[in-house]
Amino acid sequence: MAIAFPVRLGAAENTLIEQLKSVGADATAERITVAGLPTRRVEAYHYTDLKLLLKAIPPLAQAANEASAPALRIAGAYQLMIANGMIQSHATAPAGVIVGKAAGTALSTRDDVLVHLNGAFARQSLTLTLENSVDTVIQIDRRIEGLAAHAADSVKIFVADGASATIIETFSGSDAAHVGNHATYVALGKDARLTHITVDLSARAVSHFATNEYHVGEGANLRTLVVHAGAGLARTHVFPRYEGTGAHGDITGLNLVSDGQHADITMDALHAVPHTTSQPLFKSIARGRGKSIVQGKLVVARDAQKTDAKFMHQGLMLSDEAEILSKPELEIYADDVVCGHGSTCGKLDEDSMFYLMSRGIPKEEAETMMVRGFLDELVDPIEDEALAEALHGVIDGWLLGK
């Protein structure tokens, strides 16, 4: 008979257990007590060993006394704010946008430690109902202010049949060693269209965790972009589910990592019905001893015939010490599909560099031009000019080392 030995818990795990018990989440506390935080042995966390990487958990966040200016400003955007897990006051919403709140997390139940922790600690969800098309960009400014704090927050978005919108969520706050656990649930009705962008601009001392869950209905079109450009430790888990015939998703992401940063984008997509399509595209740029991880899993259900899904990851290494790790997966149960995956990684092309420099362009400027060209296909599809300009600003700021 096998003997089960208790898991040796670290400081972060013991603090989490105490915090979970303090909010009455005894079942989740017991899960941490028995299994601890996920290690390399958990496949979805193979490259992001939370037991090793998450050294300490600060106290649970209290209400923010005041909030600093937004880390990213989009001209003309309608702004909403969540500070230290609590929804802040906001201006009158544009026509067709209903803003509200609900208790607890918006995420569906699933076997993932970050989902369980968000369910335990998120006290309220910001709700957005888009009844018709909205031309104004909606910005949700999510931040953790003050001394180092452990904060969880949640957003729930519903896009009605035939409606369209563009939503950007930005994550920032003070420079303290926060731990943030952020949840976003999105449901798209029939023939709805949504561009949803999340940008982490947190301080280097922050550990940033996010879970984005998408339900894409009949004929709906979803475009997403995850950008990691701030926190020292960042992980965004993306769960798209294509639930209606004709549903399509362009799921994209970008890790920008410098020395000492660890950024992970993990996608687990399900094509649940016939005649759905997706084109996930992720890119990584790493310099110094930065580490970028992209994992992408496409699951095609048994009844999801005529699925067309292709996953691609492209990495660009700007130093010999950088690491870019990629793990594409296909899990196909249908027999009439077109599916594929690919992954490439390399340095800047020397011939192209030579060509630019031979035309009198300084080396640093030539490198910047090539990196911008490498990233254009992630930003170019974004139609709002002010939003696209703001995202280019984030990329340029990283390239300049700001």
- Three-class SS of 93-126: CCCCEEEEEEECCCCCCCCCHHHHHHHHHCCEEE
Give the Cα separation of 346 and 342 in Å (integer). 14
168 and 134 in contact (C-beta within 8 Å)? no
Q: Which amino acid is at 41?
A: R
What number of other Cβ atoms are within 10 A of residue 109's Cβ?
Answer: 9
- Quickly count: other Cβ atoms within 10 Å of residue 217's Cβ: 20
Range name among 18-22, 90-94, 349-353 with the lowest pLDDT average: 349-353
Q: Quote the CA–CA distance of 118 and 57 in Å, as a whole number.
A: 14
In the predicted model, is pLDDT for residue 3 greater than 80?
A: no
Q: Which tops the pLDDT comparison, 90 or 118? A: 118
Cα separation, 208 vs 188, in Å, equals 26
Q: What percent of the chain has pLDDT over 70?
A: 98
CA distance 116 to 226: 22
CB 281 within 8 A of CB 378: yes
Reported confidence tier of residue 1, pLDDT bands at 50, 70, 90: very low
For the stretch 184-242, pLDDT in tens is 999 999 999 999 999 999 999 999 999 999 999 999 999 999 999 999 999 999 999 99
Q: Which of 15, 391, 319 is nearest to 170 (CA)?
A: 391
Residue 2 reports pLDDT greater than 80: no
Question: Quick one: angle between helices 113-121 and 11-22, nearest 10?
Answer: 40
On whether the CB atoms of residues 295 and 267 are closer than 8 A, the answer is: yes
pTM for the full model? 0.95
Element housing 232 (H / E): none
Q: Please tell me the distance from the alpha carbon of residue 264 to that of residue 272, in angstroms, as a whole number.
A: 25
How many other C-beta atoms can be found within 10 angstroms of the C-beta atom of residue 333?
Answer: 12
Give the model confidence (pLDDT) of 27-62 as tens digits. Answer: 999 999 999 999 999 999 999 999 999 999 999 999
